[in-house]
Amino acid sequence: MAKKVKGTIAILTGGGDVPGLNPAIRAITIRAIREGYRVIGLRRGWAGIVELVQDPKADNSYNFVELTQIIVNKAGRTGGTFLHSSRTRPSHLPKANVPEQHRDTYQEEYNDMTKVVLDNLNYLGVDYLIPIGGDDTLSYAVRLYKEGVKVVAIPKTMDNDVPGTDYCIGFSTCITRTINMTNTLRTSAGSHERFLVLEVFGRYAGFTAMLPTMAGAANRCVIPEYKFNIEGLTELLIQDRFDNPSNYSVALVSEGAMFEGGEMVFKDGEKDQFGHAKLGGIGELVSQRLKELSPKYNNGKKINVINQKLGYLVRGGDPDAIDSIVPMAYGNLALDLILKGVHGRLVVLKNGRYDNVPIDVVTGKSKVVNIEKFYNIDRLCPTYNSFEMNPLFIMTSDY
C-alpha cells in the first residue's frame, strides 16, 4: 500500500549563491521525507514559480523538481545551489521578463505577479514554503506570508546582514576564504614592499571586512557604515608598512565603502529587480589614490599597490565546517516548526543558541556594524572592549 503523504513542502534558493545552500536543502529534504512529506525544489529562485506552466503536458523541469534522498545526498556536500538561483522579484517583474502565457494580462513596465505565484503554488499543492535567501529574497517571502502562504524562512548571505539572526549561511566560508587569500597574497606584497588592497563583499554592512581584520588578516579596513578619509588611510598604511619588518601593509575594502564626501562606486548603471546596481571598483580607486598620495607621507617616494577583488573566489567552492553544520541545523529547525504547524517564522542563531523569530523582522530593521561599539573611526580598524557574552562572530546589529 502506498504511504499517505502528509503534504508538500517547497524549497527555493534566491539571490547570490553561497556555500551551505546544498547542505540546507539536503537536511530539509531527508527529514521531510522521513516525516512523510513530499518535497519539491523550485528552480532559479522566484523565477521558477513565476514561469510555471499550469498544463500537465508542459515541460516544467526548468521550473521545479521533485526531490529525493538520492538527489540531495549527491549535492549535499558541495557548494552553490543545485536548484540554481536568480534575482527575480515577482512583485516588480519587468515587462520583458513576464512569461509568455501571462503577457496579455501583465503589460506594465513593472508587474506585480503575486497572484500568479499564489496560483502556481496552489497548482503544485504546496502546503509549506521554505525560502533560503538574503533580505531581498526573504522580503518577498514576507509578502507571501501576508498573502496567506505558510512560510518558514532560512537566512543566507555572505554579508551576514539579514536582521534578526547572528548568523547567515555563507558568512563563515566567506571570511575563512578572505583570511586565507589575504595571507596568500602577503608573499607578493612583502616581496615587492607594496600596499595590498583587497575588495571584499559588503554592500551595506562591513562584517566581511571587519572580522578578517579583527582576526589579523589586515591592518585596516574601510566599510559602508563610515565614509573614510583617503589621506588618513594612506598615512595609517604607510605607518603600518614602516612598522612591518617586511615593509608592506594590508587594507580590506568593502564593496560598498565610500570616500568622504562621495557615494558608492558602481560597475555600470544597470540595476537588478530589487533596485541594486552592480557594485565594483572601489578597491581599484582606493589603490590608485594610495599610490598617488603615498609620496606625501613617504619622504617623496611612491609606493606601488597590489590590488585584488576577491569577489566570487570567496563565494564559490565547498562550504567550511560551520557552513556544513549550521545549514543542517537550520533545515531541521524549519521542519520542527512545520511539524508543530507553526509558520511565519525565520530560523536563527541568537546568543549562541538556535531559535526562531517572526519573519517580518527581515523588513522591520537593518543589520549593520555598530560603529560606536566595534569600529575605531580614527584608526580605521575594528575595536572591542570585551568578548564576554558576545556571539561567536562578535558583532551583530543587536549588540
Query: Residue 159 catalytic?
Result: yes
Q: Report the DSSP beta bridge partners of residue 277.
A: 271
Which of 146, 246, 197 lies closest to 380 in space, CA to CA? 197
By CB atoms closer than 10 A (0-12, 13-18, 19+), residue 247 is middle
Name the catalytic one among 127, 135, 136, 159: 159
Q: 555572505: which residue's cell?
A: 158
What is the identity of the amino acid at 310?
L
Asked if 269 contacts 277 with a C-beta cutoff of 8 angstroms, the reply is yes
Which residues are known catalytic residues? 159
